[in-house]
Chains A and B, each alone.
Chain A
Amino acid sequence: QLQLQESGPGLVKPSETLSLTCTVSGGSISSSDYYWGWIRQPPGEGLEWIGSSSYSGSTYYNPSLKSRVTITLDTSKNQFSLNLNSVTAADTAVYYCARHIRYQLLHDIFDIWGQGTMFIVSS
Chain B
Amino acid sequence: QSVLTQPPSVSAAPGQKVTISCSGSSSNIGNNYVSWYQQLPGTAPKLLIYDNNKRPSGIPDRFSGSKSGTSATLGITGLQTGDEADYYCGTWDNSLSAGVFGGGTKLTVL
Residues of A within 8 A of B (CB): 37, 39, 46-49, 52, 60-63, 96, 100, 102, 105-116
Contact B47 A49 (CB under 8 A): no
Q: What total count of A-B pairs have CB within 8 Å?
A: 74
Please report whether the interface of chain A is mostly helix, strand, loop or mixed according to DSSP.
strand
Given A47-B88, A110-B35, A115 and B98 touching (CB < 8 A)?
no
Q: Which residues of B contact A96 (CB under 8 A)?
A: 44-45
Q: List 10 A-B contacts (CB under 8 A).
A: A46-B2, A49-B98, A62-B99, A63-B96, A96-B44, A106-B31, A109-B51, A110-B99, A111-B50, A111-B56
In the complex, are the beta carbons of A108 and B33 less than 8 A apart? yes
Which residues in B have their C-beta under 8 angstroms from that of A100?
99
- B18-26, B64-72, B100-108: which lies at the interface: B100-108
- Docked complex Cα distance between A69 and B71 (Å): 31
Which residue of the partner chain, among A37, A63, A108, A115, contacts B91 with CB atoms under 8 Å? A108
Residues A62 and B98 in contact, CB atoms below 8 Å apart: yes
- B79 → chain A, closest Cβ, in Å? 22
B57 CB, nearest partner CB in chain A, Å:
11
Nearest opposing residue in chain B for A97, CB measure: B44
Nearest-CB residue, chain B, relative to A52: B99
A96–B100 Cα gap in the complex (Å)?
A: 15
Contact residue among A49, A60, A63, A113 (Cβ-Cβ distance under 8 Å from B101): A49
User: Is the Cβ of B90 less than 8 Å from the Cβ of A111?
Assistant: no
Q: Would you call B99 and A49 a contact (CB within 8 A)?
A: yes
Beyond the given A46-B2, A106-B33, A108-B92, could you list 4 further A-B residue pairs with CB under 8 A, ordered by the A residue number?
A47-B37, A47-B90, A109-B35, A111-B50
CA separation between A60 and B94, bound complex, in Å? Answer: 12
B11 at the interface (CB under 8 A from A): no
Interfacial chain B residues near A110, Cβ < 8 Å: 35, 37, 45, 47, 90, 99
With both beta carbons as reference points, the residue of chain A lying nearest to B91 in the complex is identified as: A108
Complex partner residue of B45 from A48, A60, A63, A113, CB under 8 angstroms: A113
Residue numbers in B under 8 Å from A109 (CB-CB): 35, 47, 50-51
Q: Which residues of B contact A107 (CB under 8 A)?
A: 32-33, 50-51
Q: Find chain B residues with CB under 8 A from A113 CB.
A: 44-47
